[in-house]
Structure 1
């Protein structure tokens, strides 16, 4: 096909690739409790470590900017007795400039791709804090943010279905 006014071939609009820039990263809140040291006992026991992750995303007042929050709660207990060893809570944030992402794909992009960018820094902080707290450094396993996102969608769908089935009295 040609453009009738110039005789030149029509240029098809090439899809533009998503753009993601990390503008800032920060620790919003961090706490670490060495329960073993507070009780004056040895931390030589075999630990059982549990990690809970919570993600949140919100639009900022500046156009195309979003704030992502990754909250981790790390608990370590003695495997045999269940006695607590340490508790760590971290709220880590990132500010992102996102462009060329379709509106229907923005929510998963913010809760999958942005946390992937933040995770190496979160892993480093957790390792450093646990080491500085008197324990071997905790090297977090890689988090599958896609699986986490899908699990949350499933949980919400089940909650909505349960709420719609509940009879109103």
Structure 2
């Protein structure tokens, strides 16, 4: 399983992707709640990989505000929890890498990333006929994009699909 996070200053989105990259658990919760969720997953030994979107600087000349730095603190807290349980650091995925990997374009927006995921894996679906992404909304799309990009950049071609139950 791949656990991936789109971090925020107060709330973060997460997804747990199975070997086929289908989201089996996901949500957007308060960061303190996510710490507990992560701890529960780590104690279950069901996480093979952990990826977090990392804050980056893109030379826009815009100053960073308090929310950016608060998000950095939470990335550190999630990292520390993972390291404490596994002795490993998570993999940090830059937003620009998600855009290039999924859309082939640095100018891609959230809606382009959502559409690229739907094009690749299938429709969202309905309550009567749930699709690949049924129930996914808002920032959870970004969390899934982190996990899929991690897979594509670090695992594809290494037999991950065959090794993980």
Give the alignment's TM-score, normalised by structure 2.
0.27
Instruction: Compare the two structures and name the one with the higher helix fraction.
Output: 2
Between structure 1 and structure 2, the one with the greater Rg is 1
Instruction: Compare the two structures and name the one with the higher strand fraction.
Output: 1
State the structure with bigger RCO (CA 8 A, min sep 6), 1 or 2: 2
